[in-house]
Amino acid sequence: MKQSKVAVVTGGSMGIGRATALALAQEGWAVAVLARGEKALSSTEAELKAAGVAALAIEADVADADALEAAAARVETELGPIGAWVNNAMATVISPAMEVTPDEYRRVTEVTYLGQVFGTQAALRRMGPRNRGVIIQVSSTLAIRAAPLQAAYCGAKAALHGFTDSLRSELIHTGSAVKLVTVYLPAVNTPQFLRTRNHTGKAQIAPDPVFDPRLCARAILSAINRPVRDVWVGRSTMQMAVGQALAPAVGDRIAASMWEGQLDQNRAPAEPEGNLFQPINNDPGIDGPFGDRVKAVRHEAVTSRLRDSLAIGVAALGLLGALTLMAAPVLAGKALGLARDRR
């Protein structure tokens, strides 16, 4: 049976994607999850159906544009018109930039960047003619301030930023009512830390502060319900955005110190090959290995709407101050004239 609200979540079988799919289901959305790995997909589909909504699990590689197009067509046939599309799937390599192979750079780019491009196109082909819908680009604080050992991922997320801004301007030009939102995420406790390809010989760890995937899911759900241009989740994302805007050279030096902070000096990676080229066919769920360090916050996000309001307020205060300085000599002259007249 088709439902009125239909969402697609790529990378929806674990971590943030799975948390987002379940949050959507709890609000009554029919949900399709796209991912690799049959076991996690089946488990996610069962959870969604247990929440009382129509659900569809589709095994697809987001780097394959034809596969995404076929998945979108199937979703609309079996569930109904897609109202929200969440581009969440990603892949990465933890390694010094010069030790990442050409094939690894290519694959990270295909999944983390082109996967979102292809997903956006598949969604827009359906949303555009209907002139409604919301597309969520799940990005990262590393798109704002890059870190060492993550050149492939940072480059892909930075490319996504350029693509999204360009497309957004095109939607404005054509008068489209389809909304495009970018959600920037901090370090999050997801199973991806256990399945990232890793050349360092040391297990990857999430740098503090670490946040719950469900916090990110709530931010994504809020952006679907009340679309804004950008959303920054977590205090570290906001701090890095401000720091990069004001003092990028200082940010370079701070980022350089993050090399050791991303690695466990006492533990080797459990799956050094990771899931870059082939899925690891298990069911990792939502949470990663850093539960004891997760910040216990339910809401911690800033939207571009609030940012713009603050910017306008600061600009207004600056203008008021400038006008006051400009007016001071005139006012002083008038006061002096009045004093002379009284004499």
**3-state secondary structure (DSSP) of residue 58:** strand
| Dihedral of the alpha carbons of 118, 119, 121, 126, in degrees to the nearest 10 | 150
d(CA 146, CA 150): 8
Q: Which CATH class is domain 6-299?
A: alpha beta
Domain ranges of the chain: 6-299
d(CA 133, CA 240): 30
**3-state secondary structure (DSSP) of residue 288:** coil
**3-state secondary structure (DSSP) of residue 183:** strand
Please give the pLDDT value at position 284: 94
**3-state secondary structure (DSSP) of residue 83:** coil
DSSP type of residue 207? P
d(CA 29, CA 37): 23
Per residue of the chain (343 residues), give pLDDT as tens: 565 799 999 999 999 999 999 999 999 999 999 999 999 999 999 999 999 999 999 999 999 999 999 999 999 999 999 999 999 999 999 999 999 999 999 999 999 999 999 999 999 999 999 999 999 999 999 999 999 999 999 999 999 999 999 999 999 999 999 999 999 999 999 999 999 999 999 999 998 899 999 999 999 999 999 999 999 998 888 888 888 889 989 988 988 888 988 999 999 998 999 999 999 989 999 999 999 999 877 676 677 555 544 444 444 445 555 555 665 565 555 555 555 555 5
Residue indicated by tokens 């609000």: 27
| Residue in 105, 113, 153, 184 annotated catalytic | 153
Please give the pLDDT value at position 297: 74
- pTM of the shown model: 0.87
Tokens describing residue 100: 């990442």
153 as an active site residue: the answer is yes
